[in-house]
Structure formats: structure tokens, C-alpha cells
Amino acid sequence: MFDRSILIDRTDPELWAAIQAENARQEADRTLERLKTRHDLLQRLQREGAGYAGGVRAVLQAQANGRLRGVLGTVAAQLRVPPHLDKAIETALGAALQNVITQSWEDAAAAIELLKEQRSGRATFLPLDRLHVQPPIPAPKRSGILGLALELVDYAPAVEAAMQQLLNRVWVAETLAAARAALDAYRGNARPTVVTLEGEIIRPGGAVTGGSEGGRGDDSLLARERELRELPGQIERASALLRERAEACSKLAGEIETKRIEIARRQQALAELARRERQLRGQLEELRRQVDRSVQMQRWRSEQMAQADAEWQTLVERRAALDAEATEVERQEQESLQALGALEAELQAADADALLQELANRRAAEAEAQGHLRSQQALLESTRRTLQDVELQMRNKEQQIAALNAEIETLRGRIELLTRTEETLSAQIEALQQRIAPVEQTLHRLEAQQAEEEQRERAQQQALRQAESHLNQALLQLQRSEDALQQLRSEIEADLGLVLLEESADVAYQPPLPWDAVVQQLPVVESAPESLEAEVREMRARLARLGGVNPEAPREYEEAAERFEFLSTQSQDLEAASADLQKVIKELDDRMEIELRRTFEAVGKEFTRFFQQLFNGGTAHLELTEPDNISQSGVEIIARPPGKRPQSLALLSGGERALAACALIFAILRVSPTPFCVLDEVDAALDEANVDRFRLTVEELSRDTQFIIVTHNRRTLEGANAIYGVTMGADGVSRVISLRLEGDRIVKSDGASDAVDLRTFEEEIQM
């Protein structure tokens, strides 16, 4: 009902009230279940007629099935007796409790006929229209006398006559002394029957019955009927109480559920705070890592700026050198141009060949100077571009450094804020943990208590179920004992007729009928002789064997004797035929064994020959697994191919096993030829040499047996007299071919030899 995760404390009145309400609900539930179980048991006992004699049960079942009419029920079922009078009324009525009340004499007669028809036993009926009710004997108004039994019980008005006949002359007294005093003071002619609350009874003749009833439980017919009537009301009250307590439990459970939800909400808030703490801690660590990375980046940028400054200084110095070098180159170029002009002037005045040579030298030097100049100019331009890139990078780095410094300041502010937030959350978590710790301890303690209580409840429920099981077994045993007692009474009546039994405290009293003339008085027997039971069984067996007198017995005996003589003769004939069949079977077994041994020896000899022929050497033989019982024996093949040691067939290779199997088949065909033999690709695992020996062996055996071989081997086909197969031409269409051969020539249907060679035909087919 309650979740174990609920925090329960004895100091909390609401939660403790919920526990008590749940325990009360469970107790009400167990009470209701016990009442229902008892009600079901009593209903089953009522349906089965437990406690009633066999005849009474048969009548009640027939009335329930609609086979009898006018049956109102037994006296016990019609009475309403207060609990404290159960023993007194039961003692007063005795066996009359099982009397069946009917509306009319005809209804009683119909029930008796049904009992006779079914042989279900005997029963006493009280037909209301034929009862003779004697005048009542009023009980005296004195101390110790409770009153007339008829006035102390309740019953339906329809059965008043039956109750008057049984109880209008019975007084109920508190004690045996009060009963004796009342009888001593009574001066009437008709004497009443007086019973006490303890079950003592004083009969009209003065006989007194009393004492202890041993281990008899309070499970009389009256108590059972009263309990069966009262149980529906008790079940209804228990159900109402259960509903009331369930509603109280539901209400308290709702309140507890509300508290549980509140606790869960707080636990969830605590978990959320813890999650936020972990998240903030993660963010703080991430910010710290970012600060570290920013510091490292700033340091790296500073190093790069220092390196860039050094490179810048180097480039400035190099630029100055290049500018000086360019100035020098320009000066040299001007000098070269001037020299060239002078040379050209000299050329005009000087010798042509020498001047031309000098001109070529000068032009080569000029070209070299021009190339060097261009190279220096390209280098200067590249240096300028590099310088511009470095300046651009320096400006970018300076901007990044400024941004990183600003970001570092921002991160430091966030770190300080997160640090203060962390300290606040840590304080809150510490406070919540201090509040949770005692609650968790209480929870663990209450869970342990709940487990112990549940274990105790399971043990008590198990004990309750065992007690109910023992009670049911005891009730069934009581019913069996009562049935056995009734059966013994029926057997006494069947064996000895009507007898007058001695009154006893263990037997319910029933006023005797005035049948002294026909009823035999039996003496009281303290102990039965040892041989009495055996004598009774023997006499019963003799009576059963005697049965009724059959006047047709002689004729039936003659027929039986004639039938016996006929069957005896037939039995002798069958036994003789069976002996003859056994002899024939023995001869057949002997003959089969002789033939099997002869065939085995012949096949073994041929198998060795064919094995050597197919393997071109080696040896092999057959062995029986059970030589003493050849009809049930198996055959083992021991083979030794050339160059190998002897071994079983399972240890050979695939080709060797195929050849060994062929040798065995050929040996069987040699000993006992058959008209046809079909071999399906037995040469698939053989090489060309083995295929040739296989083909020659088949040709040898083909004089007595026609072989049909499925093969893809061309060398096997060469030994065939006819070929049947399916081929596919160049057009992709399959067609069936059948060829009759003589050697390597195809023979036409008229017997003339075709000039086409077989190999040529095969090549044409494969094209």
C-alpha cells in the first residue's frame, strides 16, 4: 500500500496514524477473507451433505436437482437455536436432527421409492399432513429450568407441526441437579424428557445419559446451520468495515503521497542545486582553462611580436643595404652607359674587328648587369611585400592582444562571481545534507522494521493457512468417520435385520419405536472375538457365491462344458500349429545363416579380386562385426591400397573410398548378377588411370548386367554403347540427343555406320 521510499517517523502523528490505519485495513482484510473461506467451506459441506446420513444426502441432492418435490429440508436446517442451547437441543433431538420434513405423505413416499431405486440408504421423513402431535408438557416456572425447548427455539411457521412433535415435551435445564429437582416435583402422568446445557439427558423412563464427549469439537449440524445463516451478515459487516478502513487508508495514503511528492520535489530541487553546482564548477574550470590558454596565447603572441620586431629590424637593415646596393647598381649602370657611348664612338673610329669584339664583351657585361639589376629589383619588391605582411600581422596581433586582455579582465570578473556563487551553493548543500542525514537514518530504520513486520505477517499468514488446512482436513475426516459409522449401521441392518442398540453416551438418542415383537434384543459385547472378523468375511463370501437359485444351471453347465471341450480342442490345434511354425522358423533361420555365410565368403573373395584389379595392386577383405550372430552382424571393410598399411574404409581418401565401394558392388554383381545397375557419377573423384580400370571392369561385367551410368567423364563415355543427354547449341536452345555407338563411330537407326568420328561430333556439339 505504501512505498518504502516514504519517510516515516514515530514522532510524526500523521505518518504513524497511516501505519496503524494500514495495519487495521490488513487485519479487516484478513478477517473478511477468513469469513469468506469459512462461508465457502460451509456451503460446500452443505452441498455435499456433510454430517448427514447417505440416505438424507441422496434426498437433499435429488431435491436440489428437481427430482423430488415437497421436500422442505432437514430438522437441523429449519431450526434457529441460540448458541448456548446448541448442545441441549442437539442432545434432545439426537438422530431426529437428520429427519427430512415433507409437505405430504406422497412426497415422503416418492422420496422413499427413490432411495430404494438408487440403493442410497435410509432416511426418516416427517410428512406434515400426517403427523400426530401429542399434547405439550409445560415446563415449570422454577429456578434452574429455562423452559420448554419448543419455546426456546425459532422455526418457520410451515414446519410448526414437526417441531411440536419433536420438542413440545422436552424441558431445558441449566444443570442436572435442577433437572432432577424439577422431575421430583412434577406430578403429571406423561413424563417429559429433560436436557441440560452440558448435554445430559433424562429420558421419560428414568434413564440418564451424560459424561464427556472426548475431543468432539463444536461443529454440530445446528451450529453449522446457524453459522451458515450468520456468516453472510458477518461478511457484509466485515466488508463494510474493510471499505471504511480502506477509505481511511486511502485518505491517509493521499496525505502521505502529498508529503512524498513534497519530499521528492525537495530532493529534486536538491539534485538540481547539485547539478547546477557541478555545472558551475565545470564552467569555472573551463574559464580557468581559458584564462590559462589566454595567458599562454599572450605569451606566445609576445614572443611572436618580439620575433617580428627582430625580423622587422633585420628587414629594415636589409632594405637599407638593398637601397645602397641599388644605388650602386644604378651608378654602375650609368657608368656602363657612358662607357658604352664612348665605346660606340671609339668603334666608329677604331678598327672594326677589335671594336666589334670589345662591343660584344661590353654588351655581355651590360646584359649581365641588367640581369643582376632585375634580380635585385625583384628581391627588393619581395622584401617590400614581406615587410607589408609583417606590418599587417603586427597590427592584427596587437588587436588580438588587446581583445585577449579585455577577455582576461571579463573572465576574472566572472571567476570572482562564480566563486562567490559556489561558496553560497556549498553552504546550501551542506545545510541540506545535514537535514537529509537524520531523515535517511530514520528511513533505513523504518525500512528494516517494515521488512521485519512483513516477514512476521507472512509467517502468521502461513500459520493461518496451515491451521485452516488442518481444520478442513479434520472436518473431512469427521465426515468420513460419520459416513463409516452410518455404513456400519447399514451393514448391521442388512446382516442382522432390525436390532435394538444399547443406549450410549457416544450415540445420539432417538426414542425407540414400539417394535418389541419384531426387533431382536442383542446382548452387550465388550470385546469381539479374534476370529469373528474372519468368520464374518468367510460367511459373506459364501453368501455372495451362493447368490440366488438358478433353475437353468444344468443346461448352462452342459453348454459351458461343450464350449470348454471345443475350446480345448482348438487350443491344442493352435499349440500344435505354433510348434510347427516354430520348427519351420528354426529351419529357415538355419538355412538363412548357411546362405548368408556362403554368400559372404563368395562376395569377400570377389571383393578382394576386384579391389586388386581396380587399385592395380594392394589387398582388401570383409570382416563381420558379430561373427557368432551373422543374421544381426554388420560388415566392416578393411583395405590396404598399394603402398599403404591396412585401415578401415572411413580412413581412405575420397577416390579410394569410391573405388572400394565400386569393388564391393562389382563383387555382389559377380556373385548375384542383376539385370540392371545404375551408377551415378561414381567416377567423379577418379583420375584418368583409375577411370580406365573402372571402365574395363564395367565392360567385363556388362556381359551379365546392363549398366546405366550418369557421368561427365569423356573416357567413361568412350566405353558406352548408347549416350543420352541434353546439350545447348549456338542459338541458346537446349535439345536432347541420343547416340548409339560402335567404338568411336555413330550407328544410324538402320544399322549403317556413319562416317562421322565421335570426337569430331563432340567438338561440333561444344561449338
Per-residue pLDDT tens over the stretch 721-731: 888 888 777 77
In a domain, 349, yes or no: yes
- What tens digit of pLDDT does each residue of 314-366 get? 777 877 777 787 777 777 777 777 777 776 676 566 555 666 676 677 777 77
The answer to whether the CB of 411 falls within 8 A of the CB of 287 is yes
* pLDDT score recorded for residue 684: 83
Q: Domain containing 617: what range?
A: 555-672
Least confident of 153-162, 502-511, 628-637, 741-750: 502-511
* pLDDT score recorded for residue 503: 46
Name the phi and psi angles at 9, rounded to 5: -135, 140
CA-based nearest residue to 55, from 476, 481, 487: 487
Residues 483 and 574 occupy one common structural domain: no
The answer to whether the CB of 602 falls within 8 A of the CB of 672 is no
In a domain, 132, yes or no: no
When divided into structural domains, the chain yields a total of 2
CA-based nearest residue to 202, from 172, 166, 222: 172
- Report the C-alpha gap between 397 and 400 in whole angstroms: 5
Residues 600 and 485 occupy one common structural domain: no
Contacts of 90 (CB under 8 A, 6+ apart): 97, 199, 220, 221, 222, 508
**What is the average per-residue pLDDT within 142-146?**
86
- What tens digit of pLDDT does each residue of 428-478 get? 878 877 877 787 787 778 878 888 888 888 888 888 888 888 888 888 888
Q: Is the pLDDT of residue 168 over 70?
A: yes
- Report the C-alpha gap between 669 and 252 in whole angstroms: 98
Residues 439 and 559 occupy one common structural domain: no
DSSP state of 514: S
Give the CA radius of gyration of the chain: 63
Residues 472 and 580 occupy one common structural domain: no
The answer to whether the CB of 70 falls within 8 A of the CB of 139 is no
- What tens digit of pLDDT does each residue of 15-31 get? 677 777 777 777 877 78
Domain closes at, from 493, 514, 540: 493
Mean pLDDT for the chain overall: 78
**What is the average per-residue pLDDT within 532-552?**
73
In a domain, 137, yes or no: no
Instruction: Provide the sign of the torsion angle of the four alpha carbons 225, 229, 230, 234, taken in this order.
Output: positive
Residues 481 and 625 occupy one common structural domain: no
In a domain, 695, yes or no: no
Q: What is the CATH number of the domain that holds 615?
A: 3.40.50.300
Residues 444 and 577 occupy one common structural domain: no
Q: What is the dihedral of CA 365, 367, 368, 369, to 10 degrees?
A: 90
**Lookup result for grid cell 499349440:** 575
The pTM assigned to this predicted structure is 0.36
Residues 478 and 586 occupy one common structural domain: no
The answer to whether the CB of 607 falls within 8 A of the CB of 621 is yes
In a domain, 581, yes or no: yes
Domain closes at, from 493, 527, 543: 493
In a domain, 520, yes or no: no
In a domain, 611, yes or no: yes
Residues 592 and 667 occupy one common structural domain: yes
Contacts of 720 (CB under 8 A, 6+ apart): 709, 741
Band of residue 519 on the pLDDT scale cut at 50, 70, 90 = low
Q: Which of 317-326, 620-629, 727-736 has the highest mean pLDDT?
A: 620-629
Better pLDDT: 258 or 219: 258
DSSP state of 753: E
Crossing angle (nearest 10°) for helices 86-93 and 221-349: 130
Residues 290 and 402 occupy one common structural domain: yes
Question: SS3 letters for 269-310?
Answer: HHHHHHHHHHHHHHHHHHHHHHHHHHHHHHHHHHHHHHHHHH
* pLDDT score recorded for residue 508: 46
Domain closes at, from 672, 690, 707: 672
Residues 562 and 469 occupy one common structural domain: no
Residues 349 and 453 occupy one common structural domain: yes
The grid coordinates listed for 146 are 429455562
In a domain, 392, yes or no: yes
